Structure 1
Amino acid sequence: MRPIYRNLIGLVGFFLIWEGAVRLDLIERVFLPTPTDVFATLADLLGQETFVRDVIATVLAWLIALAVAIAIAVPAGLLLGSLPSVRMATRVLVEFLRPIPPVALIPLIIMTLGSGPEAKVTLAVYASVWPILFNIIYALDDIDPLLVDTARSFGNSRLRVAATVALPHAAPFAFTGLRLSAAIALIVTVSTEYLAGSDLGVGAFIINGANSVGAMDEVLAGTIVIGAVGYLINEGLERLGNRMFRWSDTTRAEALT
């Protein structure tokens, strides 16, 4: 059986158990609507311009944040991975910043940038930089010194060795970091939308529904949309990675898992 069919069977089974639990009164319907109610609400919401704008606002903020994170993490990773002295000089700062949860920075960001799109983009960038950065650093550490020495023995400059040896070796690892960062950026974007009180976004829609009486179906509909967007992003990146890096053991190992 193809993986997509196994995934669909599991998903359908989950919704059937959910539907049965509510209809058998194991869970009160006011707290957890049935999937049929949620999907009916979702179909109605997809026809509303305001909800579609919320989805677009979230996806656009995610896309901007991921692009900025790549622009920061790739050169920084190459620099820290290629120059041990620079890496040691910045190690304390990096290890100090990395464990700080993005949500802990929400008050600071709101005070400095407000609660608009800048806040969620900034926090998503902060959270999604690290997987790409460290995957590149570890990839450069993992290069076989014999490959580098061989390239240099042919008279190649340091820059050419980096372009022809280091970058091809680090690319699959960087792409793995990109997949992790894509999921993290989406999580932080939505979380910031409802914790920072944004005006637009699916996160803002969810928190508004949670504060309304009898709107749990809308809350769950928004949650399903975010889950679907996250799945499509990961599936798309996985397929792209398998096409781009067929030669890499890293992507083959991911495909098997």
Structure 2
Amino acid sequence: MSSDFIYLIKPEIFEPYDELLAVLTTKKSVRQIDEGFNLGFTRNSEPEKVNKNREILLKQLGISKEQLAIPKQIHSSNVCVVDKPGVYENCDALVTDRRDVYLVVSVADCAPVYVYDSKKKAISLIHCGWRGAREKIVEKTIHLMIRDFGSDVYDLIVYVGPCASVCCYEVDKEFENFFDVKFLRFKGNGKFNFDLKGEIFSQLVRVGVNFKNISVSKHCTICSSDLFHSYRRDGESSGRMWALFGIKS
């Protein structure tokens, strides 16, 4: 539990790298400042509460909103290279090698995927749901890091964060057309459970990332209702978590 306000998930795989700030927010806060600790401007959110929650988070992390790079997510495979803070239109992955530029994605069942090039000192943060996975957003992001920053896949360290998991992620028969059947668990009545984490892991390995350098969260956002917002569980009343990733100066 955080000593300040918010319970944050901090990927253990990044612990050896003091230069990194890598967190995922949750619904929990020490002083229960705002039940659910929503960070997204969703249909049923109160903007003043969301802004206050963001202020609390950034104060706890010791950074400012002027240091954030935030994509306007559209469930695509579009990737943007970031050289300064700001809002980036129509993309679901951000890549940068700049210090003190903190990448943000908003999630509530989609997977946040954090990628760190430990040699070139470049990072990417990916918002990956089933649509992004179908369009291979993870592979595309890593190919961009290779092209633009000279990354070697063997130097990449990756964390796949909490998301809708195979235990709960029910999908329709059409998913047979999108994904290898090994990522589908047949339930009957034309329904499957989808292994989004498995699909992401497969993309990472396929592009050449060493499987020993990949950490996958065991958390499911749908069934861990005490910790995570989930759109599939709560519908329009669902809030959002923030994944945040940056290289400190």
TM, length-normalised to structure 1: 0.26
- Greater strand share, structure number: 2
Whose radius of gyration is greater, 1 or 2?
A: 1
- Greater helix share, structure number: 1
